[in-house]
Amino acid sequence: MSIHEHFTEQELKILQARAERAASAAQRDDVEKTEIRALQCTLGSESYALPVEFVRAVYENLTVIPVPCTPQFVAGIANIRGRIMPVLDLATLLNVPPSKGNSLSVLIVISSGEFSLALQVERVDELLIFPVSSVDTLPVGGATLEQANYLQAILTDGPVLLNLAAILNDQALIVETAIM
């Protein structure tokens, strides 16, 4: 007696559809392990790639309000969809000289778990999809010590892949607000 004999024709169709969806999801997971998806952005004359699994939204021309007594890499705060969010100047954080005439007018909201922040960049370029095999390790001595923690790899086409998990989890970037 086969296990299939216990099901009606309609139930077998439902089970078949579920099996096909599960197989499709497994194939997508395999593809995701062989390729990286990243949002390319520009800082000065340099190009960076932000892994899309951390990117939640992109906003242009939002007002960033400076906050006194914060480190230079903190651009300020912004009201993003009713939520006050810290904004980091990514160029300052990575020690990238700004290009002449370009202002930082794009905010990229990134998050991990409950924590979200916005990164301020000059321009968002395009969504990149590239094979994991096209990722090279960073050259030794190519970045300052602080910067090296935030850089994950370099792509063969040139953009540097950022380690957004390191940025989101770096305790040195958290500005303590104690009332005295």
In tens, the pLDDT along 149-176 reads 888 888 776 788 898 988 888 887 765 5
Q: Using 50, 70 and 90 to split pLDDT, how confident is the model at 135?
A: confident
pLDDT per residue as tens digits for the range 13-72: 887 787 777 776 555 554 456 888 999 998 888 899 999 999 999 999 899 999 998 989
* pTM (predicted TM-score): 0.74
pLDDT digits (tens, 9 = 90+) for 66-116: 999 898 999 999 999 899 999 999 999 998 887 766 666 899 999 988 888
Cβ within 8 Å of residue 62, ≥6 positions away: 78, 79, 80, 107
Amino acid at 79: N
* DSSP codes, the chain: --GGGGS-HHHHHHHHHHHHHHHHHHHHHHHHHHEEEEEEEEETTEEEEEETTTEEEEEES---B--TTS-TTEEEEEEETTEEEEEEEHHHHTTPPPPTT----EEEEEEETTEEEEEEESEEEEEEEEEGGGEEPPPTTSS-HHHHTTEEEEETTSPEEE-HHHHHH-GGGPPP----
State how far the Cα of 130 lies from the Cα of 162, in Å rounded to an integer.
15
Residue 55 amino acid letter? V
pLDDT confidence band for 180 (50 / 70 / 90)? very low
Return the higher-pLDDT residue of 159 and 5.
159
The one-letter amino acid at 90: L
Calpha distance 158→163 (Å, rounded) = 16
Q: Round to whole Å and give the CA distance between 92 and 70.
A: 13
pLDDT band at 4 (very low <50, low <70, confident <90, very high): low
Position 136 pLDDT exceeds 50: yes
pLDDT at 31: 47
How confident is the model at residue 132, as a pLDDT?
A: 82
Tokens of 166: 């390191």
